[in-house]
C-alpha cells in the first residue's frame, strides 16, 4: 500500500529520532551509572518498588498514606492492563537490537519477550507516583524522581527506545488520573450513605 499522506513519513521520522537517541545513550560511557541503573531496572520488575513503597505508606502514613497507597496501586493495575493487554498487542514494535547498537554488556538486563512499545515499567512507575500524588502530593515528589530513574534505566539497559518510555510514562499519568477520579467517586459515594 502506498503512503500518500504525511502520517507514514512522520512515523518514519519519529522512529529515526528514537533510534538516534537510543544510539547516543548506548554510545555514552557511564561506568559509574551502569550497575546502579541495571539494578534499578531489575528491581522495578513486576512493580516491586511500588509495592514496597505502598506497604511503607500503609504502615507509616496513617489514613492518608493508606489512601495514597491504594490509589497508587490501583493506578499501577490500570496502567499495566492498558499497556500490556492493550497497547503492546496493538503496536507490535520489536525490541531494540542491543548488540547492533553497541549497548555495553555490563548494562544488560534480561531482554523481555514482550513487544517494546510502550514501556510497561515506565507506565507503572509513573502511574504509582501520580496515583500517590493524587492523594498526597508531597509524598509523590521522591516517587516521581524514582519513576524517572526507572524509565531512563529501561533505555540505559537497552531494552526500550526513548519513545517507548515517554509514551509509557504518559500512559501511566493517564491511568493515575482515571484511578484518582474513580477513588474520589467511591469516597463520595461512601460518604453519602
Condensed to tens digits (0 to 9), the pLDDT of residues 108-117 reads 999 999 999 9
**Domain presence at residue 14:** yes
Task: Judge whether 134 lies within some domain.
Answer: yes
The CA distance from 29 to 24, in Å, is 10
Mean pLDDT of all residues in 121-135? 98
Q: For the chain, what's the residue count?
A: 193
* Residue 182 in domain: yes
In a domain, 1, yes or no: no
In a domain, 171, yes or no: yes
The CATH number of whichever domain residue 77 belongs to comes to 1.10.606.20
What contacts 137, CB < 8 A, 6 or more positions away? none
The answer as to whether 92 is a domain residue is yes
List all residues 6 or more positions away from 107 whose beta carbon is below 8 Å from its beta carbon.
34, 37, 38, 156, 157, 158
Range of the structural domain that residue 111 is part of: 6-191
Which helix (H) or strand (E) segment is 150 a member of? helix 137-156
Report residue 182 as a C-alpha cell: 474513580
Q: Is residue 143 part of a domain?
A: yes
Question: How far apart are alpha carbons 92 and 100 in whole angstroms?
Answer: 20
Note whether 127 and 119 are within 8 A (CB): no
What integer pLDDT is reported at residue 38 of this predicted model?
95
Q: What CA–CA distance (Å, rounded) separates 54 from 58?
A: 6
> Each residue of 11-60: pLDDT tens digit?
889 989 999 999 999 989 899 999 999 999 999 999 999 999 999 999 99
Which range, of 46-50, 84-88, 135-139, 177-181, averages the lowest pLDDT? 84-88
**How many separate domains does the chain show?**
1
Per the prediction, the chain carries an average pLDDT of 93
Amino acid at each position: 500500500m502506498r503512503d500518500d499522506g504525511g502520517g507514514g513519513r512522520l512515523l518514519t521520522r519519529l522512529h529515526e529520532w528514537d533510534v538516534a537517541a537510543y544510539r547516543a545513550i548506548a554510545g555514552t560511557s557511564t561506568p559509574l551509572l551502569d550497575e546502579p541503573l541495571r539494578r534499578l531496572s531489575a528491581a522495578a520488575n513486576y512493580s516491586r518498588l511500588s509495592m514496597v513503597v505502598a506497604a511503607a505508606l500503609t504502615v507509616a502514613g496513617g489514613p492518608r498514606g493508606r489512601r495514597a497507597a491504594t490509589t497508587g496501586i490501583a493506578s499501577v493495575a490500570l496502567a499495566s492492563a492498558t499497556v500490556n493487554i492493550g497497547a503492546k498487542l496493538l503496536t507490535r514494535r520489536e525490541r531494540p537490537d542491543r548488540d547492533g547498537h553497541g549497548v555495553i554488556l555490563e548494562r544488560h538486563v534480561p531482554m523481555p519477550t514482550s513487544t517494546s512499545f510502550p514501556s510497561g515499567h515506565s507506565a507503572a512507575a509513573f502511574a504509582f507516583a501520580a496515583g500517590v500524588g493524587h492523594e498526597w502530593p508531597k509524598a509523590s515528589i521522591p516517587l516521581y524522581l524514582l519513576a524517572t530513574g526507572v524509565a531512563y534505566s529501561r533505555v540505559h539497559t537497552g531494552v526500550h527506545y526513548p519513545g517507548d518510555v515517554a509514551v509509557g510514562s504518559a500512559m501511566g499519568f493517564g491511568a493515575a488520573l482515571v484511578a484518582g477520579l474513580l477513588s474520589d467517586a467511591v469516597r463520595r459515594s461512601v460518604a453519602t450513605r
